[in-house]
Structure 1
């Protein structure tokens, strides 16, 4: 089976590429190395996937390019059986600063992928969406019927991609599935996320910094659970044309998260507070019952278990990962 992973040098895409390469699939990765964070982490993702392919009967090819390049996307989809469309301009705050760029990557790029998949008879496109499509909660946990009123250009772009995926399924018969991820974390995660920032600062003997009052809550999802959900869609047909939440077993407020990290690394540290960030959601919490029914999805870790695993991984990989961390 030939698998195309867009954004495959990034965090989730990189984990998907490594997983599929290790299992003997023929994997092609498309990534434009957008310098949203230190590119050394992407280099590490690519090399890890190459090594995985060498130790299996599969193959791995990296293509430096963008989903906005229609001709390149068309060429890469000619032999693809399934596409995992992870490529996007990430970051809620980045989208506030550069909404046109976010629309170009996240909307136009997604349409390019879907249309190339339609023309080249790709079996399925799995689209990486986000809990950002919900916006302000009318109730929690979010189920897939909750109103969608995103509060950032990023959320709007992800919701638009979902609608295009639905339309390509309904109008053209292309098999599509949209997965709404809830704040993913784990090894090789983006260094500008709350958990990686907290761990990095505490490892260096610095207090974790909270933006706002710390009462905002998040549903943090361990990356292995995200990969399991995606992997199931290699063969599972029950989810064709649908949207599903992929989240965790619980949610946690940011202050408690900071305390969990601090207490495991250095309980003597204080916790600092600074101004809240623009366009950040106040609360997220996933109802994952639909994914449970359709693809037998079941989260494997609560936040304390996952954070403990990430801290252990961080210690083992500090020599290359920590210098790349950006505390922003």
Structure 2
């Protein structure tokens, strides 16, 4: 018998995936990390984590779009956390085919392999973007889905396929829906790294798109703790579950908070290139966490102020900041 559960994290080389990998190792799991194959032999953010942690991780390089590689990675797995995805909304406007291949077909590959191998639990990562602009708040899991970008459309598709595998084949699926996660290692295509990296590089004019939309901002440690809590709750099999703080802040107020902390002389300027098409912009996200708190003991540990402070501290390390290109619009 196996003495420890063996888990697979797809997208382990990414922002949330690397933090989740660290958590699962610390919790005593055997972790196999599915990283995107590339000729540089880069394991993404896993290359930067503590070496003693990385030594305990089995690295599997492949492509989530390849069903054969996914099936091989799934051998011997008890629990799969499926995070691999293309997530940048602006890039989805001009490359929607790649989002269908990665987000929809990639998820199908994970589901088929999990079914073939009899995996005992599958957590499929969704996104709050599937809700579009809030029709009511706080946004519960029953909120209508609104595909306001090709990205969100492919995530709605992936969620629907996952749900169909639960209903058709009794595959033990849970759809995990984090709201706007932020923290160390996040891509520069997200708003908080965009603001912090511009400020720390000495810029007095911070280029942003629309600053009126609101977001429900979740520090990454709270997000991965939510994943872990959901995986430990069998009552959530067959469910969609939000991970949210049940609060909101406008992008403008958020930017001003970081300006106050880093460079009070800086001002916000609107960059037209960063504006989403008007019908595509999601103007309000404010999530309900009532379902997650009902079924688990999860509680957010980080206030926005504490989370932003920790994120700024991480970016303030020159080694970390140097990884970001602050002079371009990162899509």
Distance change (3 Å), C-alpha of 1:225 and 1:171:
same
Tell me if structure 1 keeps the 8 A contact 2:15–2:45. no
Question: Matches of residues 246-261 of structure 1 in structure 2 within 5 Å?
Answer: 246-261=243-258
Q: Tell me the CA shift for residue 65 of structure 1.
A: 1.0
* TM score, norm. by length of structure 1: 0.91
Instruction: Kindly provide the CA deviation profile for residues 180-223 of structure 1, in whole angstroms up to 9, marking residues without a partner as x.
Output: 111110011112211111111111221322202x1111111110
2:131 aligned with 1:118: no
Distance, in Å, in 2 between the alignment partners of 1:134 and 1:110 is 19
- Asked if 2 retains the 8 angstrom alpha-carbon contact of 1:21 and 1:49, the reply is no
What is the number of equivalent residue pairs in this alignment?
A: 319
Distance in 2 (alpha carbons) for counterparts of 1:50 and 1:115: 33
Deviation at 1:254, TM superposition (A): 0.7
> Match of 1:28?
32
Q: How does 1:7-22 map to 2 (within 5 A)?
A: 7-22=11-26
SS of residue matched to 2:58: strand
- The match for 1:306 is 307
State the 1:47 CA deviation: 4.5
- Measure, in 1, the Cα distance between the counterparts of 2:221 and 2:266: 30
Q: Superposition pairs for residues 90-239 of structure 1, below 5 Å?
A: 90-206=87-203, 207-212=205-210, 214-239=211-236
Contact 2:14 2:45 in 1 (8 A): no
2: CA distance between counterparts of 1:208 and 1:8?
31
> Residues of 2 paired with 1:258 and 1:129: CA distance?
26
Is residue 197–residue 324 contact of structure 2 (8 Å, CA) maintained in 1?
Answer: no
Alpha-carbon distance change, 287 to 39 in structure 1, aligned in 2, over 3 angstroms: farther
User: For residues 290 and 39 of structure 1, what CA distance do their matches in structure 2 show?
Assistant: 40
- What SS does the aligned partner of 1:45 have? helix
Deviations 1:224-266 (A, max 9, x none): 1111011123322121110011112421101101100000011
Q: Quote the residue 1:292 is aligned against.
A: 293
Q: Is the 8 A contact 1:210 1:254 kept in 2?
A: no
The alpha-carbon distance between structure 1 residues 227 and 34, as it changes in their structure 2 partners (threshold 3 A), is farther
- Runs of 4+ displaced beyond 6 Å: none
Equivalent residue number for residue 318 of structure 1: 318
* Structure 1 residues 254 and 29: alpha-carbon distance in aligned structure 2, compared to 1, 3 A threshold: same
Structure 1 CA distance for aligned equivalents of residues 304 and 107 of structure 2: 31
Equivalent position SS for 1:305: helix
* Residue 170 (structure 1) shift: 1.7
Q: Which runs of 5+ in 1 are unaligned?
A: none
RMSD across aligned positions (CA): 2.0
For residue 43 of structure 1, report the CA deviation from its aligned partner: 3.5
TM-score (norm: length of structure 2):
0.90
